[in-house]
Amino acid sequence: MLDTTPRNDWTRPEIAALFDLPFADLIFRAQGVHRAVFDPNQVQISTLLSIKTGGCPEDCAYCPQSAHHQTGLKATKLMEFEEVMAQATAARAAGATRYCMGAAWRNPKNHELDQVCRMVEGVNALGMETCVTLGMLTAGQSRRLKEAGLDYYNHNIDTSEGYYGQVITTRGFADRLETLAHVREAGIAVCCGGIVGMGETRDDRVGMILTLATLPRHPESVPINLLTQIAGTRLHGIETLDTLELVRTIAAARIVMPRSMVRLSAGREGLSDEGQALCFLAGANSIFFGAKLLTAANPGEDRDTALFEKLKITPMPLAG
């Protein structure tokens, strides 16, 4: 029997050795861990809605919502409660069991947080898990979201600590970890991963996984995003990452964080069915369902449904 007890003492050489395994050996090990914990033929379906788009003061090099970039994206105000609920209801009808809401803020103001908390309460009442991503939070704001019934808070570290400054300069890596600590202390489950294909090295990908795997408690959800290149952002035109390197990153995440949901997140639009199948084989067991991720394209529901049918994958039921 495989030991799938989570470890928090992973070392950089150990994770680097995973990345360096022959591909078949790496996939075999990741699939063994995956099968020991999860049903290998089930994938969690989540839906992501941008409830406040554009105008963000952060300078994240990949993001079309940054006010530092000229992408033609029009900034919007926070969506009305009724519109959010209508879209959440439609997502539930389409099979989503988790509803994620994102707002392009550096950090929310308290009156804005009150409006988001009402949305969280409304989505909870529909019987779906709730997740939000709102930027940095204080300890008090984290507790307020917990009181509203929030299940997950997403706050990605994006990349390794060493490469972070090449991607973002308006806040530090430590700021990310501070928000994660506030969320965890409030009793909210953590959704935290990163982005590959931003010009980082394999060692940076090792470092990103190392940071996640050595947190005091592994994130319950680990999204692995493949950079979606958007014209007008600083990373537009960068060399595309090989799909097999994305698969290796997912496999390493599955092995070192065996009980986490590993989400094949942004970038699926550019992957072939075969590439996505390899990601599922490597241990990815969660996707976003719907034609858009915040502002980036995502495979249409028809394509995802057809892929699931070909692979004999079924949506994961809501826990409990």
The values of phi and psi at residue 62, to 5°, are -95, -10
Query: Helix 273-281 and helix 23-37: axis angle, to 10°?
Result: 60
Best CA proximity match to 40, nearest among 262, 268, 296, 269:
262
Options 60, 117, 192, 279, the catalytic residue: 60
Q: Report how far residue 157's alpha carbon sits from residue 177's, in angstroms, rounded to the nearest whole number.
A: 8
Tokens representing 114 are 């009150």
Options 29, 98, 117, 131, the catalytic residue: 131
117 given a catalytic annotation:
no
Query: In sequence order, which residues have a C-beta less than 8 Å from that of residue 214 and are 6 or more positions away?
Result: 8, 9, 10
191 given a catalytic annotation:
yes
Options 29, 98, 100, 144, the catalytic residue: 100
Q: Report how far residue 220's alpha carbon sits from residue 242's, in angstroms, rounded to the nearest whole number.
A: 27
100 given a catalytic annotation:
yes
Options 63, 117, 192, 279, the catalytic residue: 63
Q: Are strands 292-293 and 296-297 parallel, antiparallel or unpaired?
A: antiparallel
279 given a catalytic annotation:
no
Best CA proximity match to 281, nearest among 314, 240, 248:
248
Options 117, 144, 171, 191, the catalytic residue: 191
Options 144, 176, 263, 268, the catalytic residue: 263
Tokens representing 146 are 């917990």
263 given a catalytic annotation:
yes
Residue that the structure tokens 């995502």 belong to:
298
Q: Would residue 200 be called left, alpha or beta, if left means φ above 0 and alpha means ψ between -120 and 50 degrees?
A: beta
Calculate the CA 310 to chain-centre distance.
25
Query: In sequence order, which residues have a C-beta less than 8 Å from that of residue 7 and are 6 or more positions away?
Result: 213, 256
192 given a catalytic annotation:
no
Q: Which residues are catalytic?
A: 56, 60, 63, 100, 131, 191, 263
